[in-house]
A and B are shown apart, each in its own frame.
Chain A
């Protein structure tokens, strides 16, 4: 029983290691950048999964492309721009600041401002 569990565990370990070796880097920095970028970019077909977490064929293709671009020394910014040029802003998990996303970024500030104004008025009145 114990032996079979040990075998099962070692089998799982071996298969997961084999799974990650697909995108191997000689440089530790490159590996870290790859990890970071695959967590930032959305897998387009799985709606709410990053490239890092997805096993879909599209995510695998995109990861292969990312690995190539990293090895060819493209900067993170270039890589992000290339991906947005092809798939649009949607591929980024963190939306960029643009005319379309202005409301998204500005609304918390506006609401915060309104709240401060109301609270101030409330206290100023209370003092009177």
Chain B
């Protein structure tokens, strides 16, 4: 009789574990992967400016003040919608930097000409090399970088007013 009881208890425990495992599996958002780059320095890079090929930008340009690095592309429709948010954002305590990811510079420039250019400067990553160093697997993605050049927050997907006020604004310390 006791043996039956233990079998039943083991069955309940195993069932509970499996159920808990599956429940967690269903509730985890698989697109939102843990950020490995948070608390690390921005990788070293040297890439041309979108507006002037001869002008080079490097990781040094992301130091000295807070930088919001927005990864976008003219072929990314979600980025078009996100763009209206960036265009309407007052930039007082930080610089908004664009990273044009795997894009044709002419198309990116045409897009900014039409939709407005809120960026302090735009880095052209035509071959996605900085994209690899930043672990980018989709656009848009936005990094918050502190004045020491460390990534302090990363957001995958479009940023809107709510996300900005919840995750970005509070981390920009004066």
Contact = CB atoms under 8 A, between A and B. Distances in A.
Contacts of B33: 87-88, 90
A58 interface: yes
A85 B36 contact: yes
Contact of A58 (B14, B34, B128): B128
B132 A86 contact: yes
A87 B131 CA distance: 11
Interface stretch (B106-114, B133-141, B161-169): B133-141
A61 B132 contact: yes
Contact of B36 (A45, A87, A121, A125): A87
Interface in A98-128: 111, 114, 118, 121, 125
Q: Taking chain B's interface residues, is the majority helix, strand, or loop, or is none over half, making it mixed?
A: loop
B137 A114 contact: no
Contacts of B34: 88
A87 B134 CA distance: 8
B127 A87 contact: no
A62 interface: yes
A65 interface: yes
Interface in A12-58: 44-45, 47, 57-58
A103 B133 CA distance: 30
Given A44-B137, A65-B132, A84 B127 contact: no
B102 interface: yes
B131 A61 contact: yes
A45 B10 contact: no
A57 B36 contact: no
Contacts of A118: 7, 10
Nearest to A68: B129
A64 B7 CA distance: 55
A118 B34 CA distance: 39
Name which of B14, B34, B132, B133 has the most chain A CB atoms within 10 A of its CB: B132
Contact of A61 (B7, B35, B128, B138): B128
A58 B137 contact: yes
A84 B137 CA distance: 13
A53 B148 CA distance: 40
5 contacts: A65-B129, A86-B134, A87-B36, A121-B3, A125-B3
Given A47-B30, A57-B128, A118-B7, 7 more contacts: A44-B137, A61-B132, A62-B132, A86-B37, A86-B134, A87-B135, A118-B10
Ranked 9 nearest A-B pairs via Cβ? A44-B137, A86-B135, A88-B36, A61-B128, A87-B135, A90-B33, A45-B137, A65-B132, A88-B33
Interface of B: 3, 7, 10, 14, 30, 33-37, 102, 127-129, 131-135, 137-138
